[in-house]
Amino acid sequence: MNTLPPRAELERAYLARDPAYDGLFIVGVRTTGIFCRPTCPVRSPRPENVEFFPSAATAVFAGYRACKRCRPLAVVNQPDWAAALVERIDAAPAARVTEKDLRALGVDPATVRRHFVRHYGMTFQAYTRARRLAVGVQSLQTGATVDAAAFATGYESVSGFREAFGKALGRPPGDAAGRDPLFLTWLPSPLGPLLAGATAEGLCLLEFTGGTDLEAQLAATRRVFDRPPLPGTNPHLDRLRAELDAYFAGTLRAFTVPLVYPGTPFQRRVWDELQRIPYGETRSYRDVADATGDAKAVRAVGRANGMNRICIVIPCHRVVNTGGALGGYAGGLRRKQYLLNLEQLARERDE
């Protein structure tokens, strides 16, 4: 789904080097073949000589190379205003933030909406409601009554809390008591946003996401883990964020975040074997089948590889066809090639 603003707005933003748009789009310069952030300090080219992309990855796929001045392929944080909004919500989830409040902060509500839809798969107001519900779930788990949880999260009535809870999570509030939620967060990467999920036991979800498949991803997550998925974080997601930054910087060879990956015994054998493939190397589907003890299970290995829910950390991108062709990849073959190139270059640099 293309979430880019109208071209006139894009041109105004990049000509003004508006920091409010950093992270929302990428500028490709046809005359040089280079792509930049909207805030790149290099002199802006004429509007007729540029095209706009929703992410650095799409610019790479279109044949552009990254600007060495503004480094658009580096893993970046959110724009300052977006990070400040998320921090504000985390600090006081029960507080309401209206469009009037956003304008008082100097942020256009339409820009906020586009940013949250693109990076979180929901509008800003939907995100704030989900964060309130997350706090409500945590309150219920620590022994609070439904009434207390409702008022602690800013709902004016218990019935309103019950209705919102049931609509979002598919179960009444009382069912959340004593249950561990699955916390979800969205992490930036040079290849587009990643949806990450973790329970108290460990990381259980890491997938590239986009507006067209996010709803299906969330539905599958709820079905597999039978837990309420809620925006938030926990120590495992905090560790993952730091480790992914190091991985994309080419300095991390092995992840240490605990993993949770339910599946059939065969699927788990395949996923275990994937984690034994050394950084910077590849194995064929047949190699993995041999390692699992069933040389005839090449197709089954391919299916299990495609069903891996924790990309990069369980490195299914390191499995290729016999002969070296890339094969398949749920995140797209260009992302797979990028990850393989990243690891190979980092390994060669260190040898």
Of 32, 12, 34, 33, nearest in space to 24 by CA: 12
Strand partners, 26: 53
Q: In angstroms, rounded to a whole number, what is the distance separating the alpha carbons of residues 82 and 22?
A: 10
Q: 234 near 195, Cβ under 8 Å? A: no
Q: In angstroms, rounded to a whole number, what is the distance separating the alpha carbons of residues 28 and 34?
A: 6
Please tell me which residue in 36, 70, 204, 311 is annotated as part of the active site. Answer: 36
Q: How far is CA 331 from CA 25, 169, 219, in A?
A: 20, 27, 18
CB proximity list for 242: less than 8 A, separation 6 or greater: none
The DSSP code sequence of 269-327 is HHHHHHTTSPTT--EEHHHHHHHHT-TT-HHHHHHHHHT-SBTTTS-GGGEE-TTS---
Of 135, 134, 162, 133, nearest in space to 147 by CA: 162
- Residue 293 burial by CB count (10 A; 0-12/13-18/19+): exposed, middle or buried? exposed
Q: 66 near 37, Cβ under 8 Å? A: no
Please tell me which residue in 40, 67, 70, 316 is annotated as part of the active site. Answer: 316
Sheet holding 182-187, edge to edge: 203-208, 194-198, 182-187, 229-231
Q: In angstroms, rounded to a whole number, what is the distance separating the alpha carbons of residues 86 and 262?
A: 31
Q: In angstroms, rounded to a whole number, what is the distance separating the alpha carbons of residues 234 and 137?
A: 14
36 part of the active site: yes
316 part of the active site: yes
The residues carrying an active-site annotation are 36, 316
